[in-house]
Amino acid sequence: MSTTKKEPTFVTDSKISESLFTIAKKYLNRAHSPYSKVKVACATLMNDGKIYGGCNIENASYGGTICAERVAITKAVSEGAKSIKAILVLTNQKEIWPPCGICRQVMAEFAKSKTLVFTTNLKGQMITYNFSDLLPGAYTPDYLLK
Ligand code: THU
């Protein structure tokens, strides 16, 4: 499947992406990924003003694997945070990786369409999305809560 690629900018272009990147880098080393060897980290700024981090945690029963984004978001929500202000994903891969479909759906629960999603690599290159670019026509809580 081919997709239109955005040109990368740099993490240092904004204070918020820089802060999230610094925290995500700490979590990258905590990735538990003996099977894929891929390290992914996520840092999310929540409405409580705090930044929560997470890493991918794989499982010998592959389906038990959880992505870095969902680790960070579930940590934040379980601490009482309610919404995502901005979120950054970092991988140790050469290419900049976008969040997977399940993580996009979980983001849809706590993000707004304009919420910034920064996707980065260790070179500090960054592709920035509004959440709605990643999941157009999202199935959001609005459908159930209206
Ligand atoms: N992974 C994430 O942590 N986030 C994503 O959005 C994509 C994939 C992880 C899951 C697995 O541990 C590894 O990357 C390879 O798929």
**pLDDT-derived band of residue 124, with 50, 70 and 90 as boundaries?**
very high
pLDDT digits (tens, 9 = 90+) for 2-54: 666 789 999 999 999 999 999 999 999 999 999 999 999 999 999 999 999 99
**69 an active-site residue?**
yes
pTM of the complete model: 0.96
Q: Which two tokens stand for residue 110?
A: 């706590």
Map out the domains of the chain with their CATH numbers. 9-143 (3.40.140.10)
pLDDT of residue 94 exceeding 70: yes
pLDDT of residue 29: 97
Kindly give the distance from the C-alpha atom of residue 55 to the centroid of ligand 1, in angstroms, as a whole number. Answer: 9
Q: Of all protein residues, whose CA lies closest to atom 9 belonging to ligand 1?
A: 67
Ligand 1 centroid distance, CA of 48 (Å): 26
- Rounded distance from Cα 146 to ligand 1 centre (Å): 33
Q: What whole-number distance in Å separates Cα of residue 145 and Cα of residue 15?
A: 34
pLDDT computed for residue 2 by the predictor: 62
Residue identified by tokens 């081919």 is 2
Distance CA 108, CA 75 (A): 16
The pair phi, psi for residue 5, each rounded to 5°, is -95, 140
Atom of ligand 1 nearest to the CA of 31: 12
